[in-house]
Structure 1
Amino acid sequence: MNHLELIRKVEWKDLRTLSVKEILIENNISLPWFFISILLAYYEYYWLALPFSGFYFLTALRQVHNGFHNALGTGKFLTWLSLYLNSILMIASIHAVKFNHIRHHKFCLSEEDYEGKSASMKWYEAVLYGPKHMFLIHWITFKKANKKYKRNMLAELVSIAVFAFIVFYFQIYFLIYHVLIMFLGEFLMAFFAVWTVHHDTHETPNIARTQRSSWKNKLTFSMFYHMEHHLFPAVPTIKLPELAERIDKKLPELHRKQTF
């Protein structure tokens, strides 16, 4: 059974609709973690700030990832604004990441899938590949994207440069901490966001790895329901647990590889 046949067996279209509460959650889920991490860094509690910075990066990734698939429940401008602001805070052009992510769904784990390159590596190779991965994401956008993507990427990169210049020129230490930690997060993307969910799945690339442990999914904010996401990319992250239950009920024979 291929992934198109799987899609036809599961009801999912109703899951695209978000309530007002769900819209507020998906569009603001990263903010508490950001403000707590910045507050702790401001008072120089850097080690205490570190896990909150990590959760900010994870939840911001969830937020922009939903934005990639128009699954935030908001209009085009607010979705664009979310991607733009998180570009500055995450220290990477999120529109460049979006361009490559949409291609990742289209060309999953093929030669044209630049986002997915690390999936075929050993885990430690994927970690070491991280800096090249982030450079490649921006370079491929520059080479292959349309003018709109390029304009958005340029606007984001200029904004990031201005932000970083102000932070380092005026030696705003708690923001220097934030910038450095975000760089670290970006460099680990090839491992955490690609390798963990796609390694050893090349035979069935659209059947990505997933996670069924309740506490692990709570800890990772449902970001490892990746098989579900690849089969139904229009479904917002907040609805993926319900989607997983439907898949398990409708297709109990489906082989699911775990992420971790």
Structure 2
Amino acid sequence: MQPSLNEIGRDLLVVPRWRLALTLATPFALVALFFVFASRQWYVAALACPVLLSFLTYGSISHDLVHRNLGIPRWLNESLLSAIELLSFRSGHAYRTVHLHHHARFPAEDDLEGAASRMSFVRALFEGITLQPRLWIFAMKKNGRDRTWMIAEASAVVIGLGICIAIIPITPLPFAYAALMIAGSWIFPLVTAFIPHDPRGGTELQQTRLFRGRVLSLVALEHLYHLEHHLYPQVPHHNWPALARRLDPFFEREGVRPIRLWF
């Protein structure tokens, strides 16, 4: 049996206020920096901004807002979930519906988010091209409570894209930004399902892979703690490394072998 949160430490639920403020401001800062860098023709730096934005929002910042584990007022949590995901032309509340369903149902056939874990590498890559509209349709059918949020978010995405296209004769930068953000979401099935999950596993510890090592931590910016997150979704991403260290003895006792890249 996995340790209780009381056993491993409820301090893992706490994030310092300064760090929380920095985290929530980061997506907006990255958008601003993209336009600053692109307008100065610093294209490599500009390209890095949407890459980081896609990675940090879907993988951790919006993800924490989905789980409501940051300890902020509910109205602020919901508003930020919507606003931050809209920066990436996605519906935050559709994301929540589908992601929580994934936690409850993986590896069931009706788990849309986890479906790529049963696919080939190539098919998982192509799965992402149409994933966001399909997530929204799935969520609209599944979650009547947040339907108003999701309709508003989808409308904002369509209007935003329309504006980006309409002003291309004036400046192509907003359209370039939108295209990069949308294309960035295409790899989500690969990185959130195909790589970390194994639907053939018989237990929860076998259905999600365990990753360790300095190389993988550096490459993934300390975000490859998928198994730890599935076991303790209430722990914010800031504390995933500490959570992993405290769980290592448990994983060793249970015979869970970590995947490493060199060291």
Normalised TM-score (structure 2): 0.88
Structure 1 equivalent of residue 164 of structure 2: 167
The CA RMSD measured in Å over matched residues stands at: 2.2
Deviation at 1:201, TM superposition (A): 5.2
Structure 1 equivalent of residue 72 of structure 2: 74
Determine helix, strand or coil for the equivalent of 1:6: coil
Aligned CA distance change for structure 1 residues 259 and 145 (closer, same or farther; 3 Å): farther
Letter in 2 for 1:182: M
Deviations along 1:137-191, whole A, 9 cap, x unmatched? 1111121212x32111111111112222222111231111110011111221111
Letter in 1 for 2:172: Y
User: Is 1:50 aligned to 2:52, yes or no?
Assistant: no
Aligned CA distance change for structure 1 residues 65 and 201 (closer, same or farther; 3 Å): farther
Aligned CA distance change for structure 1 residues 180 and 229 (closer, same or farther; 3 Å): same
Deviations along 1:6-39, whole A, 9 cap, x unmatched? 1438514331122212322332343443332232
Structure 1 equivalent of residue 186 of structure 2: 187
Deviations along 1:170-219, whole A, 9 cap, x unmatched? 12311111100111112211112221111455433455223322353244
Structure 2 equivalent of residue 227 of structure 1: 227
Are the aligned partners of 2:161 and 2:178 in contact in 1 as well (CA < 8 Å)? Answer: yes
Deviation at 1:110, TM superposition (A): 0.8
Structure 2 equivalent of residue 143 of structure 1: 141
Find 1:105's aligned residue among 79, 85, 103. Answer: 103
Structure 2 equivalent of residue 241 of structure 1: 241
Deviations along 1:53-82, whole A, 9 cap, x unmatched? 211111122111000111223111111121
Tell me, in whole angstroms, the C-alpha distance in 2 between the residues paired with 1:256 and 1:104.
24
Are the aligned partners of 1:67 and 1:83 in contact in 2 as well (CA < 8 Å)? Answer: yes
Aligned CA distance change for structure 1 residues 19 and 200 (closer, same or farther; 3 Å): same
Could you tell me which runs of 5 or more consecutive residues in structure 2 were left unpaired when the two chains were aligned: none
Structure 2 equivalent of residue 154 of structure 1: 151
Aligned CA distance change for structure 1 residues 210 and 251 (closer, same or farther; 3 Å): closer
Are the aligned partners of 2:107 and 2:199 in contact in 1 as well (CA < 8 Å)? Answer: no
Determine helix, strand or coil for the equivalent of 2:153: helix
Tell me, in whole angstroms, the C-alpha distance in 1 between the residues paired with 2:178 and 2:95.
18
Tell me, in whole angstroms, the C-alpha distance in 2 between the residues paired with 1:117 and 1:251.
26
Deviations along 1:71-94, whole A, 9 cap, x unmatched? 223111111121111232111112
Give the number of equivalent residue pairs.
255
Fraction of identical pairs, as percent: 21
Find 2:117's aligned residue among 110, 116, 119. Answer: 119
Could you tell me which runs of 5 or more consecutive residues in structure 1 were left unpaired when the two chains were aligned: none
Segments ≥4 residues shifted beyond 4 Å: none
Are the aligned partners of 1:222 and 1:238 in contact in 2 as well (CA < 8 Å)? Answer: no
Are the aligned partners of 1:209 and 1:259 in contact in 2 as well (CA < 8 Å)? Answer: no
Tell me, in whole angstroms, the C-alpha distance in 2 between the residues paired with 1:142 and 1:259.
39
Deviation at 1:101, TM superposition (A): 0.2
Tell me, in whole angstroms, the C-alpha distance in 1 between the residues paired with 2:40 and 2:173.
8
Aligned CA distance change for structure 1 residues 253 and 32 (closer, same or farther; 3 Å): farther
Normalised TM-score (structure 1): 0.89
Determine helix, strand or coil for the equivalent of 2:108: coil
